[in-house]
Amino acid sequence: MYLITVEGGDGSGKGLATQMIAEILHQEFTFSGIDITAEPRRDAELGLLAVEAVRTGEAGPVREAVYFAADRMDHSHTWIRPRLGQGHAVVSERNVHSSLVYQGVVGDLGVEEVAQMNAAAMIPDLCIWVDCDPEMALNRISDGTLKLSISSRTDDTEYFETDEFQVKIRQGYHDLLGGAVPIPAPFNRGRVVGPVINDGTKEEFRRKLQAEIRKFLHERPIPLNVPTEEVEMHMLASALASQKGQTTLDVLATKPARSNRDWLAGEKPWEVVRDASKLYIEAVQSEDAPSRMDVPQDPLSHPVLSILGTLSLLPATEISELRNWLGPVRMVTERHTHRMVKFFDEQSDWVRIHRPMIGHDASRTELRSNWQAFGRVGLVIWPFKEALSEWKRTHPNTSWKHGMAAVISSDVSAATACLSRLSILGSGKGDSPPPSTNQELISWWQDGVA
């Protein structure tokens, strides 16, 4: 879903930063996969042409820039883009900003021309600029740890490894990523942070990177290269496919079991939201609710719909597996996931936690059958959750039945997304087909059928 790149002069610690960022993403966030890559690619013919051009310095800045752009284009559309669409985070050691610096600033081609060469490539959502003391960087280079040689010869010195060139490169990064030289379109749409100084221990460096990653992802930025709905469609379809055609989901709770087809259980979507909202608000405002539970007041909030919606797709599951299925769009922090599940178990009785005997497997959580309808309706109306909440807040005495008709004309793309979600989840009423038009969506909301 997000392309995160690591940039900086040679010897600044880009490789270490790339590994650390991947570890942080894996440990703290719910992407469906974490992929590490680098440019230029050493395992692709186009990448090898770029490597050879850099190794000899004989190609000249124009041809060198063309080689890098060609490798990046192929890399973007055959390797990076498919993974982003599946909800992965891709961490790349070097990307387009390297070309903007090496060939655009230092190579005198100009950043505008280099940007045009790369205009169809993926845009880094986040560029993390790392830097360190120049003498330290040059010592790392001279130690031979950064050779780009593609043959068995290890005594070559690439033209960019000279002290003079490294000074220019480091200044180029400061000019471009520091703001003195404007980053041209379309790459000015991405966020740049740094310099993240790598001048202390590995633990200190990791904490700095962790702070930047957390700040970026907790803001839930809109991805630049893939629609969030494409990611969600993949995640929802994958969750259903993981059940391998099961018609029921429960393995712990008593009957009635939750259904993958009749998940509305004969109710109307607006009634499901009405009843669930009333009970949720009562649970939050209950006198015996812990004062520091820190749960949202809004029943259509991101954490509520995310966790209940995801549980509605799964049989009894451990928290770690639940978080894997949240994906990057429904992402909730681990601490908040535990807090919300505890609330749903103790205050609202919407979920059941099966606590095994000491020494046995981890606890498993399942959504009780009478709340599956709200979980799946929540997934369907996710694109409209803020609009519906605002409408209800400003029309407290108006029935939820009229909510969809009131908001559907305000956001055509959200309506399309709701219809796409229903095409995967089904109408929730037996063999009734899911709605395919906005008017049918309103009818489904009001009556349960298109």
Under a CB-based contact definition with an 8 Å cutoff, are residues 46 and 71 in contact?
A: yes
Length of the chain: 450
Pick from 195, 212, 191: which is nearest to 20 by CA?
Answer: 212
Q: Report pTM.
A: 0.88
What CA–CA distance (Å, rounded) separates 291 from 286? 10
What residues does 126 pair with on adjacent strands?
A: 4, 191
CA angle 230, 234, 236 (to 5 degrees): 115
User: What is the 3 state secondary structure string of 238-287?
Assistant: HHHHCCCCCCECCCCCCCCCCECCCCCCCCCHHHHHHHHHHHHHHHHCCC
Q: Give residue 438's Cα distance to chain centre.
A: 28
HSE (side-chain half, CA atoms, 13 Å) at 113 = 13
**The two three-digit tokens of residue 252, written as one number:** 């712990």
Averaged pLDDT in 10-residue chunks for the chain of 450 residues: 94 92 96 96 87 75 89 96 98 96 89 96 98 71 48 43 76 94 96 93 96 96 96 94 67 67 93 95 77 81 96 92 94 92 85 73 86 96 96 96 94 94 94 94 93
- Residue 44 dihedral angles phi and psi, to the nearest 5°: -135, 145
- Two tokens, residue 334: 């681990």
* Domain 2-218 in CATH 3.40.50.720: no
Type and span of the H or E element at 386:
helix 385-394
Amino acid at 396: P
| Domain residue ranges in the chain | 2-218, 228-447
Identify the sign of the CA torsion 123, 126, 129, 130: negative
182 preceded by a cis bond (ω within 30 of 0)? no
Query: What would the DSSP string read from start to end of 179-228?
Result: TSSPPPTTGGGSEEEEEEE--S-HHHHHHHHHHHHHHHHHT-PPPSSS-H
> What's the pLDDT at 155?
43
Instruction: Name the residue with tokens 């992802």.
Output: 217
Residue 19 CB contacts under 8 Å (≥ 6 apart), including other chains = 36
Torsion over CA of 137, 143, 145 and 151, rounded to 10 degrees?
130
Convert the pLDDT of each residue in 102-151 to its tens digit: 899 988 899 999 999 999 999 999 999 999 876 766 666 666 544 443 33
